């Protein structure tokens, strides 16, 4: 009988059961929907609040002042100010509209000293460009009156201007990247914690309801262990990918993130590191779970692993605040800290190529090492029902 297909088939059956059981569960369906709605709602709400601070100004021009309309519209477009120019039949109608709020300002009279009627106050975003245009019109008219050619003077004026030298050109980008970095690290922290504990509880469940003995009479412990890790990991990937798509769509639709590719890089890096981190921690959680036989005893073995993950997440804030600190850099490269710290540093753009490459290689090496360790502990303890199995016993395999 060919060995490989049989082994693969068993692995597939186990992983599929784990995946389907969990994807069909209320925890997954409702949890994912709620998270997707919350995430999209948060992003949309945030941008809505920002948009409401720059409402469209509605203006109308009457008489000589109408020559100001075109230049103001052009200036507004260049500055990104939202402006709508309306026409009114006469001054009285315009004034009435300003009083009613249908118009924000009515500009009338001489173009060089126009009268601006407003209900209460003129917004500075309109006042500043309007003033400049009025001054330019006045200048042009004065130049024409003095016999000079306004177009020559205009050309010279256009050439004049300030030279801006930016000392910290990426400040905004930097801030956005930091936010995305914290978001990525937080998401990985929650995902590793949540899905890792699901693996531990799944292992304990099989021991607690004793089906483990039937399973082990027909499959090898490693097939069961890896099938479980793969099935739950796939469920985690699916949930994260759904959330990632919602996040990307919502941010691109609302322009919440202006830095190009930051979102995509963060999501891609986050998913790769989720796979690496999840496999590593799932093996640790599975080995821990195999030591106990009852859900009540789960805390004792899960708590130390949970503390490690929480501690790593807290360390991220230090790492993010001190991007060049050698200890922080080293921690972000070495497992078991790298699965949370490195994707955060990738999102902020602090990680260099060699650091990323080294951390991935080390993470894979750690997974291979943990695989041997976890499989051994799991095999030695998974059939022992009753009191918690000591770590040393589990390693040696003696009862």
Token readout for 5 is 């297909």
**Closest CB 374 distance from another protein, rounded Å:** 19
**Closest CB 14 distance from another protein, rounded Å:** 8
Looking only at Cα atoms, what is the longest distance across the chain? 109
Q: Which is nearer to another protein, 1 or 392 (CB)?
A: 1
Say how far apart CA 103 and CA 119 lie, in whole Å. Answer: 9
Secondary structure of residue 89 in the 3-state scheme: coil
Q: Which is nearer to another protein, 173 or 215 (CB)?
A: 215
Q: Which is nearer to another protein, 3 or 52 (CB)?
A: 3
Q: Which is nearer to another protein, 230 or 340 (CB)?
A: 230
Q: Which is nearer to another protein, 1 or 162 (CB)?
A: 1
**Closest CB 213 distance from another protein, rounded Å:** 4
Q: Is the dihedral of CA 327, 332, 333, 338 positive or negative?
A: positive
Q: Which is nearer to another protein, 206 or 350 (CB)?
A: 206
Cα–Cα distances (Å) from 224 to 7, 145, 202, 205, 388, in that order, read 11, 94, 11, 13, 21
CA 171, distance to chain mean position in Å, is 18
Q: Which long-range contacts (CB under 8 A, 24 or more apart) does 309-313 make?
A: 309/189, 309/192, 309/193, 309/196, 309/281, 309/340, 310/189, 310/193, 312/189, 312/336, 312/337, 312/339, 312/340, 312/341, 313/185, 313/186, 313/189, 313/340
Q: Which is nearer to another protein, 34 or 214 (CB)?
A: 214
Q: Would you tell me how many other CB atoms lie within 10 Å of the CB of residue 171?
A: 10
290: closest CA among 229, 225, 227?
Answer: 225
**Closest CB 215 distance from another protein, rounded Å:** 7
* Beta strand spans in the chain (E): 57-61, 83-86, 105-108, 115-118
Length of the chain as a residue count:
399
**Closest CB 226 distance from another protein, rounded Å:** 14
Q: Which is nearer to another protein, 55 or 390 (CB)?
A: 390
Indicate the DSSP class of residue 73.
Answer: H
Is 86 within 8 Å of 60 (Cβ atoms)? Answer: yes
**Residue with token string 């050439």:** 159
Residues contributing to the site for another protein (CB under 8 A):
1, 6, 10, 13-14, 17, 21, 209-220, 383, 385, 398-399
**Closest CB 219 distance from another protein, rounded Å:** 6
């Amino acid at each position: 009988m060919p060995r490989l297909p049989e082994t693969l088939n068993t692995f597939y059956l186990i992983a599929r059961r784990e995946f389907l059981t969990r994807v069909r569960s209320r925890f997954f369906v409702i949890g994912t929907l709620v998270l997707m709605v919350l995430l999209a709602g948060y992003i949309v709400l945030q941008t809505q609040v920002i948009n409401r601070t720059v409402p469209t100004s509605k203006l109308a021009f009457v008489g000589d002042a109408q020559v100001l309309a075109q230049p103001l519209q052009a200036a507004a477009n260049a500055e990104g100010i939202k402006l709508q120019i309306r026409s009114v039949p006469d001054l009285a109608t315009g004034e009435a509209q300003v009083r009613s709020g249908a118009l924000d300002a009515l500009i009338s009279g001489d173009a060089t000293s126009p009268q601006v009627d407003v209900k209460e106050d003129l917004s500075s975003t309109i006042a500043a460009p309007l003033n400049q245009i009025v001054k330019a019109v006045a200048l042009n008219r004065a130049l024409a009156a003095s016999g000079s050619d306004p177009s020559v003077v205009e050309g010279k004026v256009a050439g004049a201007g300030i030279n801006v030298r930016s000392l910290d050109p990426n400040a905004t980008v930097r801030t956005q990247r930091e936010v995305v970095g914290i978001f990525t690290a937080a998401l990985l922290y929650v995902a590793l914690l949540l899905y890792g504990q699901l693996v531990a509880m799944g292992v304990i469940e099989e021991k607690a309801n004793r089906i483990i003995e039937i399973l082990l009479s027909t499959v090898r412990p490693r097939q069961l262990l890896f099938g479980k890790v793969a099935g739950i990991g796939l469920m985690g990937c699916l949930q994260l990918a759904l959330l990632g798509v919602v996040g990307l769509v919502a941010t691109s639709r609302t322009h919440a993130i202006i830095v190009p590719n930051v979102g995509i890089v963060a999501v891609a890096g986050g998913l790769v590191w989720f796979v690496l981190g999840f496999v590593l921690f799932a093996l640790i959680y599975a080995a821990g779970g195999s030591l106990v036989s009852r859900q009540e005893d789960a805390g004792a073995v899960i708590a130390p692993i949970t503390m490690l993950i929480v501690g790593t997440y807290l360390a991220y804030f230090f790492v993010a605040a001190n991007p060049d600190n050698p200890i922080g850099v080293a921690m972000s490269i070495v497992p078991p800290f790298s699965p949370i710290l490195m994707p955060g540093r990738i999102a902020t753009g602090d990680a260099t190529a060699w650091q990323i490459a080294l951390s991935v290689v080390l993470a894979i090496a750690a997974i291979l090492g943990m695989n041997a360790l976890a499989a051994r502990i799991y095999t030695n303890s998974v059939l022992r029902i009753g009191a918690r199995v000591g770590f040393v016993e589990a390693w040696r395999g003696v009862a």
